[in-house]
Structure 1
C-alpha cells in the first residue's frame, strides 16, 4: 500500500471534464448576437475612422469578437475599405491589431 497524500483532500479535481463543460455553459450564457448596423451608422463610422487616421486622434473602438462586445482605446494606423480591414494600435500594450471592418460596431473619439 502506498499513501494517497494530497489526493484525498481534492476529491473533485479528478472531474476536469465537468469543470470544462460548466465553463463552456457559462460562456455561452454571456454571448450576444452581432448587431446589424444601418447605412447611416456605417457611414458615420467611416468618417470617424478617416478623421482619426489623418489627425492621429485617440478613439474608443467597440467591436464584436467571439460572441462578446469588446471596447478598446487606441489609435488608427491603417484603413483599407476595399480589403475590408483596418489596423489599430492598442493604447495599453501598444500592439498592432488587424481587424475586419465588418466586426466593428462603434467608433468614437476619446
Structure 2
C-alpha cells in the first residue's frame, strides 16, 4: 500500500532550532557598529539643522545610533530641547512620535 504524506514542505535546517539562534547571533555581531563620537562642530551643525527643520516644518533624514546599529529614517521634527537632551521626531512611514535623546543622533540632513 502507498501512503501519501500530503503537502508537507521539506525544511532541511528546521530540525535544529539552536542553529537558527546561533546564525542570528553571528549575523547581528557582523552588523554591530561602535557609536561614533561627534566633534563640537558636528553637534552644533545638528542643533542648527534641527532648529531649522522645526521652524520651517521641513522633512529631515535622521541618522541615529540604537542597539549597536546606525539607523536612518525620514520624517519631521515636532519638538526640540537642546538643554534637556531631547527631541520628538514623527516618522514619515507610520507617523508615530518617537522621543529621542540628542546624544543618540549621528547626523541630520534636510530633505
For the superposition of Structure 1 and Structure 2, which TM-score range results when normalised by the shorter chain?
0.7 to 0.9
Are 1:14 and 2:15 an aligned pair? Answer: yes
- Which protein is richer in helix relative to its size? 1
* Structure 2 counterpart of 1:86: 87
Of stretches 36-45 and 64-73 in structure 1, the one that deviates more from structure 2 is 64-73
Give unmatched runs, 5+ long, in structure 1. Answer: none
1:62-104 per-position Cα deviation (integer Å, ceiling 9, x unaligned) = 1111111111110000112222111111111111111111110
State the superposition RMSD in angstroms. 1.8
* Runs of 4+ off more than 3 Å: 9-12
Normalised by the size of structure 1, how large is the TM-score? 0.87
* Matched positions, count: 106
Normalised by the size of structure 2, how large is the TM-score? 0.86
Give unmatched runs, 5+ long, in structure 2. Answer: none
